[in-house]
Chains A and B, each alone.
Chain A
Amino acid sequence: MRIVMKFGGTSVADAERIRHVAALVVSATAEHNVVPVVSAMDQVTEMLLDLADAAASGNSMQAEALLKAVRDKHLAAAYALGAQQAVTALLERLEGLVRGVLALEELTPRARDAIVAFGERLSCAMLAHVLGARAMDGREAGIVTDDHFGEADPLMDLSMYQVGQSLGPLLDAGERVVVTGFVAANQHGVTSTLGRGGSDYTATILGAALRADEIWIYSDVDGLMTADPRSVPDARLLARLSFAEAVEMGKFGAKSMHPRALEPAAAHGVPVRMRSTFKPEHPGTLISDKQAEGGAGAEGGRVSIVRCVPMLKNLAMVNIGGAAMIGRPGSASEVFAALAGQRVNVHMICQSVSEAGISLVVGGGQLDRAKGALEKTLRGVGSPRTIEVVPNVCVVAAVGSGMRGTRGVAARIFTSLARAGVNVIAIAQGSSEMSISIVVEASAGPLAVRAIHDEFSLGS
């Protein structure tokens, strides 16, 4: 099989773990044609972003300190791995860039990408050294993006072709490579980064372009669970999920993949396996086109309609009310334009047919910004409206493609919540019918998750 293996930051956090990853790759290489994709070492991307900002504000002391921290971290790992040479040259180039930014006290998104990309370049160089493989960045691998530095979108068809051209012949010739995640370039070869989805996105683009048999996403968890085990002690690992279910789960927590990163794999039908670096023998969670064996939602012989119950915490709700909104076209547009203007990400939206109010769920950290933006815009136009906030809420979701067209799912969910004494603040269900999102008070979140989890017998 041809397999793209992606290793996250915790999987390459130090020399020992890089050696462990290398051993994983080597043992897989005995059986498969392997393309490893690697993230920056744990914490390094954040350090580089801070470094870039410090340099841009002319804070040379902080910049020097951060630069030293980045250098020390990589040199320590590199010495242990005997990879000083590969790392030193890269560190020198990074230092040169930072000095440039310090001198100019100016940081364009393009320059920020050039600096941040060193995280992946450095980890890639070290892993490649250990493996005796060729280190390639995303540009050399053929991933081409538009010019939106910091959050670049791949030119997907062009990338598919170029990856096939650049990596295809190398792999066919049996050459070993390691590719940087997250890093790409625009069509003129200027470094860009993929933003949301990051290294996972790199892995799925390569997997689709190289017609891989599977894409293995390694992290520090065994796979995707029916619920957060901290809330639900008997939560189980999901052996299989459909792409559609995985996309629904993508919003909830860092352990799942960003929906954007699932797109290339779903479009080209390449299965994605999420597994743990630390338990390589564990098969993890397989995300694929195929329904779980035994029909929708079958899991170890049991059929379940709801597959998992993820929860999103640290949220706040904003209720906008007022009779003036009823039947007036453009009300919703004003609300969302105001929020978009302040770059507030809206997680959930509810409005009843009466149109007397719109309820929104936003990140807890963005609440003040959201409230400010709405007050400024909506009160300004003279129509009397109320803006009310509920600061501490969370969203609990029931996800499963078996919910589509199945009657009585909502009844079971809400009955179970009532039995558990959980007060439901708001509800949203999209037309995909693959998930129902329920807003509850933050303190009631774990209770709500357990109630739904038990109702659908998802535990072990």
Chain B
Amino acid sequence: MQVTLVGFGVVGRALAGQLRDQHALLERLTGGAVVLAGVCDTRGCAVAPRGLDIDALLAHKATGQSVGSFSSSTGGEGAIARGFDAGFGPAQFVAAQGRLAGDAGPRVVVESGPSDLKHPAPAVENLLAAMRSGLHAVSVNKAPLAVAMAALLEAAAHNRVQLRYSGTVGAGTPVLALARQAALGDRVLGVRAIINGTTNFILHRMASQDEAFDAALAEAVRLGYAEADPSNDIDGVDTAMKLVILANHLHDLRDGGHRPSYADARVQGIRGLSLALIREARARGKTIKLLGSIDVDGGLKVEPTEVDAGGPMDTPRNVNAVCLSLERCGEVTLVGRGAGGPETATAIVRDLVDIARVHRGG
């Protein structure tokens, strides 16, 4: 299996490390050697059909340089590298990977760029370029799926390749697969989900420590739960992107309608949420969570919502929970730890193993 990695940030580097460390295990699970055949960052790319030297690559990247200047002498057999320019960027790099020499195993492009909802088009184009070129695709980037999931799934079907995205929701906990498995054979009436660790940490801290929003946010930043600019999390954008992906993943188990995209979601975050509201809820045996919900008509909504204190949705810190309302089986709640670089890389490996299995016809 040839893996091509688009984006070489925290997740991409964790994946490269995991491919190196689990080499033997992956060969057993996928039925062939899994090599990192190409990688690109924002400035350039490096390619080796038989696999890049991952140790050398990580060391090179650690010096702050682009993979586009990775030395061909140490990069691995037949390695070449080049910088990007106006005529050759990530999408052209991905398309070229479809013409790479190499083994007969499946070829996969992993889109691991940052989930930038303001500029999702380049990541959509990377995934489309991969599938057009006959490559399977894995995305842990939420933005392209949030804006163009129907289009991407159609492109996958048209080109007879697989599109996987299990790392986008829940990361370490395979929320999407579990939710689908739980709902198969039943009918999904509605979904309520806590799928953003940062906001849940803040809300849990506000409720348990009786701390104001700003103080709880500062603590989340200090502990590394929140990024320096936490807008995507606290304004509900991240939850909404994940909710759109979840709704699409369960689309055929709900009642028809269009596949939703981000524009269909009503989004309200928790920025500046008053501690008084949480105290008042607590007095009534409730607590406030940032819930993403899918209602019976398929309407998508993200907003701070009261849930029962001590109930299954009252999860601590950054623990995710997805509660499915099913017609026959009633409420089913899945609870598990959310994301981080290593967890997301593991989710990618899960997708790679699945792709290899389906590719072999297993």
Residues of A within 8 A of B (CB): 146, 155-158, 160-162, 165, 187-188
Per-position 1/0 for B98-131, Cβ under 8 A of A = 0000000000000000000000010010001000
* Of the residues B124, B132, B154, contact of A188 by C-beta under 8 Å: B132
> Main SS of chain B's interface residues?
helix
B279 interfacial contact with A, CB 8 Å: no
B131, closest chain A residue (CB): A187
Chain A residues whose CB sits within 8 angstroms of the CB of B153 once the complex forms: 157
Write the nearest CB–CB distance from A289 to chain B, whole angstroms: 15
B150 touches A160 (CB 8 A): yes
* Distance from B98 Cβ to chain A, minimum over Cβ atoms (Å): 12
Residue of A with least CB distance to B159: A187
Most chain B beta carbons < 10 A, residue from A155, A156, A161, A187: A161
B147, B151, B154 — most chain A CB neighbours (10 Å): B151
Complex Cα gap A162–B124 (Å): 10
27 contacts between A and B (CB under 8 A): A146-B158, A155-B154, A155-B155, A155-B158, A156-B154, A157-B150, A157-B151, A157-B154, A157-B259, A158-B128, A158-B151, A158-B154, A158-B155, A158-B158, A160-B150, A160-B151, A161-B124, A161-B147, A161-B148, A161-B150, A161-B151, A165-B121, A187-B128, A187-B132, A187-B155, A187-B158, A187-B159
Residue-wise, chain B 153-164 has the 8 Å CB interface mask toward A (1 for contact) of 111001100000
Q: Which of A146, A157, A158, A162 has the most CB of B within 10 A?
A: A157
Q: Whole-angstrom distance between the alpha carbons of A155 and B155 in the complex?
A: 8
By a CB distance below 8 angstroms, the chain A residues around B132 are 187-188
A155 CA / B128 CA spacing, docked (Å): 13
Interface string of B327-361 (1 = CB under 8 A from A): 00000000000000000000000000000000000
Given contacts A157-B259, A187-B132, A188-B132, A162 and B151 within 8 Å (CB-CB): yes
Q: How far is the CA of A157 from the CA of B152 in the complex (A)?
A: 8
* Alpha-carbon distance A155/B157, docked complex (angstroms): 10
Hey, which chain B residues are within 8 Å of A155, CB to CB? 151, 154-155, 158
Q: How far is the CA of A156 from the CA of B258 in the complex (A)?
A: 12
Q: How far is the CA of A188 from the CA of B154 in the complex (A)?
A: 15
Q: Residues of B at under 8 Å CB distance from A?
A: 121, 124, 128, 132, 147-148, 150-151, 153-155, 158-159, 259
- Chain A CB count within 10 A is highest, among B132, B147, B148, B153, for B148
How many A-B pairs have beta carbons closer than 8 Å: the answer is 31
In the assembled complex, the Cα of A162 lies from the Cα of B154 at a distance in Å of: 13
Those 6 A-B pairs whose CB atoms lie nearest each other, nearest first: A161-B151, A157-B150, A157-B154, A158-B151, A161-B148, A157-B151
Query: CB-CB < 8 A to B151: which residues of A?
Result: 155, 157-158, 160-162
B61 to chain A, nearest CB (A): 32
B121 neighbours in A (Cβ, 8 Å): 165
C-alpha spacing A188/B151, complex, angstroms: 15
| Chain A residues, Cβ within 8 Å of B155 | 155, 158, 187
For B158, the chain A residues whose CB sits under 8 A away are: 146, 155, 158, 187
A158 vs B128: C-alpha distance when bound (angstroms): 10
Nearest A residue (CB) for B95:
A188
A189 to B, closest residue via Cβ:
B132
A156 cross-chain contacts in B, Cβ below 8 A: 154
Report the minimum CB–CB distance from B158 to chain A (whole Å).
6
Nearest CB of A to B261, in Å? 9
CB distance from B181 to the nearest CB of A (A): 25
Which residues from chain B contact A187 at a C-beta distance below 8 Å? 128, 132, 155, 158-159
Q: How far is the CA of A146 from the CA of B159 in the complex (A)?
A: 10
- A188: which B residues are within 8 A, CB to CB? 132
B151 to A, closest residue via Cβ: A161
A160 contact set on B, CB distance < 8 A:
150-151
Q: Who on chain B is nearest to A188 by CB? A: B132
CA distance A161 to B149 in the complex (A): 9
Rounded to whole Å, the gap between the CB of B251 and the closest CB of chain A is 12
User: How far apart are B130's CB and chain A's nearest CB, in angstroms?
Assistant: 12
Set of chain B residues within 8 Å of A158, measured between Cβ atoms: 128, 151, 154-155, 158
A residues less than 8 Å from B124 (CB atoms): 161
A188–B98 alpha-carbon span in the complex (Å): 14
Contacts of A162 in B (CB 8 A): 151
CB distance from B227 to the nearest CB of A (A): 28
Contacts of A165 in B (CB 8 A): 121
Shortest distance in angstroms between B118's beta carbon and chain A's nearest beta carbon?
13
List the A side residues contacting B128 at CB < 8 Å: 158, 187
CA distance A228 to B164 in the complex (A): 54
Residue of chain B at shortest CB distance from A156: B154
A-side contacts of B159, CB under 8 Å: 187
Q: In the complex, what's the smallest C-beta–C-beta distance from B168 to chain A, in angstroms?
A: 18
CB distance from A167 to the nearest CB of B (A): 14
Residue of B nearest to A159 (CB): B151
A contact residues around B259 at 8 Å (CB): 157
Closest to B148 in A: A161
In the assembled complex, the Cα of A158 lies from the Cα of B158 at a distance in Å of: 10
Cα(A158)–Cα(B150), bound, Å: 7
How far apart are the CA atoms of A172 and B150 in the complex, in Å?
A: 23
Chain A, Cβ-Cβ closest to B259: A157
Cα A161 to Cα B150 with chains together (Å)? 9
| Nearest CB on A from B298, distance (A) | 15
Nearest A-chain residue to B157, judged by Cβ = A155
Residues of A within 8 A of B150 (CB): 157, 160-161
Minimum C-beta distance from B116 to chain A (A): 15
